[in-house]
Amino acid sequence: MTTPRRRRRKIFPSLLSTPPPTPPAAPPPAAPRFRAVPVPADPPGRVHPPAPPDGPPDDPPYGGPGAASGAEPSQATPWPAAARFPVPRAALGHLAATADLGVPELRRSPYDGSVWVLLDAAHLAALPLVAAYGGTAFQSDGDGRLWPYDPSGPATDASARPTAGTPGTPGTHETHETHGHETRESRVPRLPWPPPSSAPAAALRIPWRAGAPEHARHEPPPAPRTADVAGWETLPLAELAAHSPVGAPPPGLREISVLAPGALARWLLRRCLAAGVPATFTPVERLDGAGRTDPGWLLLRLGAAGAVPQGLVEACGRLPGTVACRAADPDGRVLVDLGLRLPLDDAVLLDDAPPGRHVVVERAAAGPPWQWRPLGEAAAAELLDAGPLLGPAAAPAAVPVPVPPLGPPLPVRLVAGARAPRRVDAVLVADAELDGLRRFLRCRPLHETAVVAFGPGRHLVTEPPGLLQALPFGVPVYQAGPGALYLESGCVLNPPLPAPARDEVLGLGPDVIKVLCRDGAWQLRVADVRPAWQLWMPAAPAFESGLSYPAQELLDRLADALPAPESPAPPAVRTTETERARLNQEAMEHSLRGDYRRAAELLEQAGHFQRAAQMYERAAGELGEAR
Amino acid sequence: MIRDPALLQRAALCYAQAGDHARAARCHEEAGHRLRAAELWEQAGDLARAADCWLGAGRARKAAECLLRADRPEAAADCFEQAGDPLRAGWTLVTRTRSYATAEQLFAAARPADAGERLRRRLGRELAAALAYGGTAALVTTLAGVPDRIGTLAPTRERAVVEEWAVTAADAIRRPDLGALVLAASYRAGVPGCADRWRDWAAHALGDTTGVPAGPAGARTPAQRDAAEQPYAAPLTTAPLTGGHDT
């Protein structure tokens, strides 16, 4: 432990009097320019010889008792110490470890992007921990210059620091080495920056910024002073917290907030509705660091009774530009990315957040930090797709809700799918195929039960499954539901639409049949459904009626001879076949609408047990698919 | 996809009413009614699927009977073994296959519970040995003792089984005389249905049913009783028959 300390004490008195350092390309001097001086362990209480009379008295570098006669009082800088961290995550770790002392001032170096922490008197206890987080601690002297911190020296309290010449201070070694032979400037180290190229100081080597000017690549940065560091750009704590470790979102979240652009937010809201997760949305505008605003954003708040589905949470976080967050407070002043593993307590972030602002702590890789500002009140997710209210009580101008741009609607297409149903519930035939259908059906048992729904150029022939497989022409379709919606066999809708959406988008109704094929879409009416045998029903012949004269004469004679039988007119009852035909027709209409169960019951009632059984199977399959 | 069982059952009833037993069985099977499906598969003539349904419903013995009818004796033996009847399993292997060693293992592992099962186990092992190695003396001795013991067995169902096994064993070693003695003893013991089986056996094995009683033992005529008392005893026990014409 002593070796690094000794190396850190190497002070270079001639540095100040020498010209600016040469570029690295310059040849090194033959003799070592600086020489390390071993420092003996000074016994406590050792009295150093006084300064030579020909030299000016040493300035007390740290103030303290001798500060009264010093040129710069140390109380002019409120930060007696500072720490430099090469990467933001190191500064964040140190800050989290010393969070109980309060949040110190944070600065970003304009030279190398390192993070400087200005420590006031209340934070001096955090100084010994700096090295543990990979940082470098500095103490300021009376001039405000920063010196590497010496942990073996006296207490960090500036007032208790020894004066120049006391062992353990940077000036001490110079005093030993150049006692009575150097000027004031050469004896007192005024430029502790850049650090010497000793082993511990090598850790302080910093890669110069790629965008730095050429001369800055070769020349070390100027000696920092506390006032210089304080004048650098302030680093918000939220931006520092963005460098926290990143992991997967924690499971079991009951409420999350999502900031999303308008088009993606609408998709997310629909997915929330489909998943049964209650959600609200608030129009917000995004403010970046340069003050530019982007109003097309929505803040979604998802809250589930149990937990928000993990798939939904991950989907929110994976979308481009979308941030899935948790709110640090109910007002949402600080939203923290769900993937961030913050080492800090949320209260620290809340205390540091500027009042009246809404800060987003997003992972650092996503870009510079930004803020948001609400533009309206929160509304339920269902209202996003709601149409305008046309009632007398609803005045359109009374609720100026800024609707963000939601993007164009997606086209729904019919595409062939490997998993699409390939069963044949009906066959769509064209006008030109009607004649072939007539000739085909009249020789087969299908003609007794099949029905045809006539339409605009296309006609739907339907029957219980199995019989239609043999039809050698037409486009096979299957009943996709709800109601009388038929899709071409082997095809599905892309993107897939749930049953309510199909009902709403395709305009299904109880009296219409909609057929979608890859080459067109047709709407047929249930009222135009006819039995298939009507395709070839011949015209009724002209029946001759009435009585011929001989017959009439004969009947008259008989009426005179025999009394007229008193037979009341028989009631017009429906014959069994008529009733069966009616039931069959009704069953086919129910089948066209997709109500297979009712159709099966009617067919069973009509005595068509085989077809009823097939219809029952179809109904069972439909229920199975619905489950 | 799981289809609605209630609707499938209604479909099955409609199919059954339409006479389509196979589809009705399929619907019942899909609806989870395996017993009903097994019966319908049997009616439809698909004995293999019926056996599957019986087996799925935990009726291994019924499945074995279906498999026997489907001429799958090995699978039937497995089902008998699953049903806890190793005697029947071994007997199936002995009489329907050439797996005599497996049958012997099954007979050796069986634990007969009564005298009837012990007698059947002995018949089975000796028949397996006779078919495997050719020595029939032990089996003939056992078969000759069956007529005396069959009347003492209980319950009555066991007598019928012993009668069936003994007649089958006698046929297997070409000793129909011993089979006739067993059937006559069974007839005298009043085993139900013995007269019909005797008549069928005589027609099948001997080609002639002369002298075989037509009805059960209680309803026979005195002449039939006398014929039953002395069926073929004197000539048949001394010389084995080779065919029905010699009688």
The residues with which A118 forms a beta bridge, in sequence order, are: A82, A105
pLDDT at A578 over 90: no
For A227-268, write each residue's pLDDT tens digit: 778 888 888 888 888 888 888 888 888 888 988 887 788 888
Residue A131 — very low, low, confident or very high, per pLDDT cuts 50/70/90? Answer: confident
Could you tell me if A281 and A298 are in contact, meaning their C-beta atoms sit under 8 angstroms apart?
Answer: yes
Residue A464 — very low, low, confident or very high, per pLDDT cuts 50/70/90? Answer: low
Q: What is the ipTM of this complex?
A: 0.72
The pLDDT of residue A385 is 55
The pLDDT of residue A465 is 53
pLDDT at A364 over 60: yes
CB pairs under 8 A between A and B: 58
The pLDDT of residue B194 is 92
Interface contact B4, partner A, CB < 8 A: yes
Cβ-Cβ contacts under 8 Å, A604 against chain B: 10, 14
Cβ-Cβ contacts under 8 Å, B15 against chain A: 609-610, 613
Residue A389 — very low, low, confident or very high, per pLDDT cuts 50/70/90? Answer: very low
Give the closest of B1, B2, B10 to A616, CB-based.
B10
The pLDDT of residue A134 is 82
Parallel, antiparallel, or unpaired for β A512-517 and A485-488?
A: parallel
Burial class (CB in 10 A: 0-12, 13-18, 19+), A506: buried
Binary contact (A616, B20; C-beta < 8 A): no
Give the position of tokens 């988008």: A505
What's the rounded Cα separation, in Å, for the pair B8 and B22?
A: 14
Cβ-Cβ contacts under 8 Å, A623 against chain B: 3-4, 7
Interface contact B15, partner A, CB < 8 A: yes
Higher per-residue confidence, B216 vs A583: A583
For A522-565, write each residue's pLDDT tens digit: 998 888 888 777 777 777 788 888 889 999 999 988 888 887 66
What's the rounded Cα separation, in Å, for the pair A150 and A131?
A: 11
Cβ-Cβ contacts under 8 Å, A624 against chain B: 1-4
Binary contact (A610, B12; C-beta < 8 A): no
Helices (H), A386-427: none
Higher per-residue confidence, A378 vs A162: A378
Burial class (CB in 10 A: 0-12, 13-18, 19+), A418: exposed
What's the rounded Cα separation, in Å, for the pair A171 and A524?
A: 100
What is the DSSP secondary-structure string of B18-34? TT-HHHHHHHHHHHT-H
With CA atoms as reference, report the closest residue to A279 among A384, A381, A382, A386.
A381
DSSP state of B204: I
3-state secondary structure of A559: helix
Burial class (CB in 10 A: 0-12, 13-18, 19+), B245: exposed
The top-scoring range by mean pLDDT among A360-369, A557-566, A604-613 is: A604-613
Q: What is the pTM of this model?
A: 0.43
The pLDDT of residue A566 is 66
Give the closest of A597, A609, A610 to B7, CB-based.
A597
Could you tell me if A163 and A66 are in contact, meaning their C-beta atoms sit under 8 angstroms apart?
Answer: yes
Parallel, antiparallel, or unpaired for β A334-337 and A358-361?
A: parallel
- For residue A604, the chain B residue with the least C-alpha distance is B14
With CA atoms as reference, report the closest residue to A485 among A506, A466, A468.
A506
When the pLDDT of each residue in chain A is averaged and rounded to a whole number, the result is 71
Residue B140 — very low, low, confident or very high, per pLDDT cuts 50/70/90? Answer: very high
Q: What is the average pLDDT across A495-509?
A: 80
Higher per-residue confidence, A162 vs A119: A119
Residue A273 — very low, low, confident or very high, per pLDDT cuts 50/70/90? Answer: confident
Cβ-Cβ contacts under 8 Å, B24 against chain A: 613
pLDDT at A198 over 50: no
pLDDT at A111 over 50: yes
Could you tell me if A447 and A533 are in contact, meaning their C-beta atoms sit under 8 angstroms apart?
Answer: yes
Which residues 82-141 of B are in CB contact (within 8 Å) with A? Answer: none
The pLDDT of residue A217 is 46
Interface contact B10, partner A, CB < 8 A: yes
Cβ-Cβ contacts under 8 Å, B22 against chain A: none
Exposure string over A421-443, b if 16+ CB within 10 A, otherwise e: bebbbbbbbeeebeeebbebbee
The pLDDT of residue A306 is 77
Interface contact B18, partner A, CB < 8 A: yes
The pLDDT of residue B67 is 95
Interface contact B20, partner A, CB < 8 A: yes
What's the rounded Cα separation, in Å, for the pair A616 and A410?
A: 37
Q: Which residues contact A78 (CB under 8 A, 6 or more apart)?
A: A120
Taken as a whole, chain B contains a residue count of 247
Q: What type of residue is A530?
A: R
The pLDDT of residue A59 is 40
Residue to substitute from B3, B20, B27, interface A, most A β-carbons within 10 A? B3
The pLDDT of residue B75 is 94
For B64-88, write each residue's pLDDT tens digit: 999 999 999 999 999 999 999 999 9
The pLDDT of residue B142 is 95
